[in-house]
Amino acid sequence: MAEKMKKGPSEAGRKTLKCPHKQGINLNMREQKGNPRLTLLVGCLAIVILAGCVAKFGVIDQYRRLDAAQAAYASVHTEYTQVQELLKGYDRLLMEYRTYSMEWATDGSEDTGKLTPKMEIINKERLLLKVTCDTPRDPLHFYVTVTDAQGHSTGRMELTGSEVNVSYRTYTVTMVLDDLTEGKRFSQQRRFRQLTPGSDLTLKVEVESDSRLMDSVTGKLTTNSLFAEVRNGGTTAVVTYARHLQNLDEGSGLPTAITRALQEQDIQFVNTAMDDGWDSCYPGRRFTPIYNENLNYYDSTVAVGTQSYHPVIYELPVDTDGDGGLFESFRGTLRNIRLCGAEISAGGNAGGLAGSLRGGTTIEGCQVYLSPTRDKLSSKNEQDIWISGATAGGLVGRCGYDLTVRNSFASTVLEGGRCAGGLVGYISGTRTVYVEHSYADCYLYASGTTGGLIGSCTGTADITLRDCYTAGF
């Protein structure tokens, strides 16, 4: 007991040492074996989630924002470009506006804008009214009132549709007054039905803007509806273009008061250098031989200073079933006519000047001929026919009335079905024919008779030939 009591204090201060036992070691080993897998799984999952968040918020969303920004920039840039295009004339418009503003300030008026239209009449192979005008901004309107010499008027007409062409801020207005195309001739247009064909016209042209800042402009122009002009109280038509020549025919509706015609300029039916010539305006169109019972005088003479010259009709194209020539038939006086390179084909009588005569006629100083330079004769020969018909003559096809020919000639190639003559193809009846200082130099072909000056004559005509000669074949 004493021994026991002796050991007690030292043993009491000592701690008991616990040593692991088998069961505890096994449990610890199991616990350490399972934890690394779970930790790895959780760690991987966390990494994936973190990577996804970084990819979405740090990359994908940023690319989306970048694409949206680029699209917005492209849209704004396009709008900017369009605005710049629309504002090209802004500086000029601003200056005009400021100018108007200053004028309002100085005179207290708002009616200060000015239009400056150019108005012109084109009287060639077409008769046109042409107006061009610039506008700063607002639409323009064009009105025309046409009045003839007799006081008849169309009333105020607005030009619209195909007659008005707009290119940027320039208006070009074209009104057709006379055109040989069917339906466009002056006498055929409904808007001119109250006017007299062949009469002088006065055109009142008004140009107006939709803007109250622009003053309207009014102009007046004059012309003749069918010819270059009409003289001597409306009895004499002046001819300078092929359209004028064609309008001598009764089909134009010209007044019966016109009995005389003066040619004062060369007339060309073929002119490739002009875009407003006969062949350009009327491709393939043939000239219709003139028939006008009231027309009894035609002269091709114009004075230049103290000299006179005689304008030429070049390359007259005729193809008809009836009588053919410059005139289908004629009665009166033909003076100083020059026909160069005329190609005439007629089912009836054919002559350079007239297919036939319907009354007493005088032909003075007239010429029907071919030109080596204009008619390309180097590619032609004596068998190329220029004038042909049932009867054919260099000047006149058939003569059934008194005829006088002075100082005239024909030099061409003729073919007549029944007869052909250098000057006159056929004379019939009891007529007086007088030919003086004239000649023919023609190639003649006919199934019947031919004659250097006169092809054939029947009846008891009194024919006098004085200082005349013939040549050719």
Which pLDDT belongs to residue 87?
A: 72
Between the CA of residue 322 and those of 388, 389, 394, 419, what are the distances in Å?
Answer: 12, 9, 17, 17
Please spell the DSSP secondary structure of 339-391, one letter per residue.
EES-EEEESSEEESSEEEEEEEEEEES-EEE--TTTTTGGG--TTS-SEEEEE
Q: Which residues in 390-404 are b (16+ Cβ under 10 Å) and which e?
A: bbbbbbbbbbbbbbb
Summarize pLDDT for 152-174 with one digit per residue, the tens: 999 999 999 999 999 988 999 99
Summarize pLDDT for 323-379 with one digit per residue, the tens: 999 999 999 999 999 999 999 999 999 999 999 999 999 999 999 999 887 766 767
Percentage of the chain modeled with pLDDT above 90: 67
Instruction: Kindly state the helix (H) or strand (E) to which residue 55 belongs, with its residue range.
Output: helix 22-55
- What whole-number distance in Å separates Cα of residue 240 and Cα of residue 226? 11
Which pLDDT belongs to residue 103?
A: 44
Which pLDDT belongs to residue 98?
A: 55
What integer is the mean pLDDT of 107-117? 63
What integer is the mean pLDDT of 143-156? 97
What integer is the mean pLDDT of 56-69? 73
Which pLDDT belongs to residue 94?
A: 61
Which pLDDT belongs to residue 111?
A: 44
Q: Are strands 140-148 and 200-209 parallel, antiparallel or unpaired?
A: antiparallel
Q: Is the pLDDT of residue 105 over 50?
A: no
DSSP SS3 for 301:
coil
pLDDT bin (cut points 50, 70, 90) of residue 46 is confident
pLDDT bin (cut points 50, 70, 90) of residue 138 is confident
Question: What's phi and psi for 52, nearest 5 deg?
Answer: -60, -40
pLDDT bin (cut points 50, 70, 90) of residue 91 is low
pLDDT: is 294 or 37 the higher one? 294
Summarize pLDDT for 360-371 with one digit per residue, the tens: 999 999 999 998
Which pLDDT belongs to residue 184?
A: 97
Which pLDDT belongs to residue 110?
A: 44
pLDDT: is 135 or 352 the higher one? 352
pLDDT bin (cut points 50, 70, 90) of residue 135 is confident
pTM of the model: 0.76
Q: Is the pLDDT of residue 78 over 50?
A: yes
Which pLDDT belongs to residue 26?
A: 55
What integer is the mean pLDDT of 220-246? 97
Which pLDDT belongs to residue 193?
A: 96
Which pLDDT belongs to residue 314?
A: 96
Which pLDDT belongs to residue 121?
A: 98
Which pLDDT belongs to residue 97?
A: 59
pLDDT bin (cut points 50, 70, 90) of residue 277 is very high
Q: Which of 210-224, 335-349, 391-405 has the lowest mean pLDDT?
A: 210-224
Q: Which of 46-50, 215-219, 222-226, 418-422 has the lowest mean pLDDT?
A: 46-50
- Within 8 A by CB and 6+ apart from 347, the residues are 320, 321, 322, 324, 389, 390
Which pLDDT belongs to residue 104?
A: 42
Q: Is the pLDDT of residue 33 over 60?
A: no
The tokens of 456 are what?
Answer: 């054939």
Q: Is the pLDDT of residue 43 over 50?
A: yes
Nearest to 263 by CA among 282, 281, 280, 246: 246
Average pLDDT taken over every residue of the chain: 87
- What whole-number distance in Å separates Cα of residue 109 and Cα of residue 238? 49
Which pLDDT belongs to residue 14?
A: 55
What integer is the mean pLDDT of 445-470? 93
The tokens of 315 are what?
Answer: 């390359």
Q: Is the pLDDT of residue 18 over 70?
A: no
Which pLDDT belongs to residue 341?
A: 95
Nearest to 308 by CA among 318, 300, 298: 300
